Copies of this chain bind each other. A is one copy, B any other.
Amino acid sequence: MELYKIHPQHYVAVDCVILGYQDEEIKLLLYPRSFEPYKGNWSLLGGFVQDNESADEAAARILKQTTGLEQIFLEQVASFSEPNRDPEARVISLAYYALIRIDLHDEEKVRENGAYWISIKNLPKLIFDHQEMFGKALVKLQQKAGYSLCGSELLPEMFTLIQLRKLYEAIFQHEFDPGNFRKKILSHGVLEKLSIKDVSESRKGAFYYRIKTDQAEKTSKEL
C-alpha cells in the first residue's frame, strides 16, 4: 500500500455497446445523456466500476439495469484512456459489447432510462469516443460471427435459415448467396431441423431450425 500510494487513482467506467437484431437490422441501445457535460447528447449505456466488483461484473450490472437481462453474451472490446476524453474529469473507460435478444428485453427498463434502439445504419453522433467503441465492437461481432453461430444470442430459439441469413447480412452489411449460405451453415452440423414451418413469409413455408443443444457451444464455422 505504501508503495502504491505514490501513484494516482482514476475513475474507471464501463461503457456497453448493447446490440440487438430487429426488423432485419442490427440495433444499438443509446440514450440521451442525463447529466453534464454533454447532457442530452447520445451516449452508450455506462457506469462506474465500484470497489467490490470487477469490470465484467459492472458491465453485467449495467446491462441488467438497462435491459433487465442477465447471463447474456458480454465481452471486452478495448480500453479508452486518453486523459481528456471526458472533459469533466479523468475517466478511464473499459468498453464492452453485449448481444441480446430484443424480443426478451424489458421495455419498461429501457423506457425508464430514456433509451432507444437505433439502427446502426443510421447512427447519430455520439459523445466522447463512443463512436469508436461502437466501431470496434462491430468488428468484434463480425469476427465472432465468422467462427461461431450468432443465432443463439440474437435470434429466438427457432429460426429459419432465411432469417439467419438476413441476420448475417445485417452484421456484415452485404448480401450472401442464399444457396451457398444455407449449405455452409448446414455443413457444420450444429443446426437441427424442426418439423415446424414458418408460413408467415411465403406460401411454401420455411422450416425452422434450432441449435443442437448438446453441442451448442462447440460451434465452429467461417463465412
Query: A-side interface residues toward B, CB under 8 Å?
Result: 1, 3-4, 7-12, 35-36, 48-56, 76, 78-79, 81-83, 88-92, 94
Looking at the complex, which one of B3, B8, B12, B48 makes contact with A35 (CB distance below 8 Å)?
B3
In whole angstroms, how far apart are the Cα atoms of A9 and B92 in the complex?
10
- On whether the beta carbons of B89 and A1 are closer than 8 Å, the reply is yes
Q: Given A3-B88, A10-B10, 12 other A-B contacts at CB below 8 A? A: A7-B11, A8-B51, A9-B11, A12-B81, A49-B81, A52-B83, A54-B82, A54-B83, A55-B92, A56-B81, A76-B78, A76-B79
Q: Known contacts being A9-B10, A11-B9, A55-B79, is A49 close to B92, with CB within 8 Å?
A: yes
- On whether the beta carbons of B81 and A51 are closer than 8 Å, the reply is no
In whole angstroms, how far apart are the Cα atoms of A78 and B55 in the complex?
11
- On whether the beta carbons of B8 and A10 are closer than 8 Å, the reply is no
Within 8 Å CB of A36, what residues of B? 3
Looking at the complex, which one of B7, B81, B83, B88 makes contact with A94 (CB distance below 8 Å)?
B81
In whole angstroms, how far apart are the Cα atoms of A78 and B78 in the complex?
7
- In the A-B complex, list the 8 residue pairs whose CB atoms are closest, starting with the nearest: A9-B9, A7-B48, A55-B81, A54-B81, A8-B51, A54-B82, A4-B89, A79-B94
- On whether the beta carbons of A1 and B51 are closer than 8 Å, the reply is no
Q: How many copies does the complex hold?
A: 2
Within 8 Å CB of A88, what residues of B? 1, 3-4
- On whether the beta carbons of A49 and B10 are closer than 8 Å, the reply is yes
Within 8 Å CB of A81, what residues of B? 12, 49, 54-56, 94
Within 8 Å CB of A11, what residues of B? 4, 7, 9-10
Within 8 Å CB of A89, what residues of B? 1, 4
Q: Known contacts being A55-B79, A79-B55, A79-B94, is A50 close to B12, with CB within 8 Å?
A: no
- On whether the beta carbons of B91 and A4 are closer than 8 Å, the reply is yes
Q: How far is the CB of A112 from chain B (nearest CB, A)?
A: 19
Within 8 Å CB of A35, what residues of B? 3
Within 8 Å CB of A82, what residues of B? 54
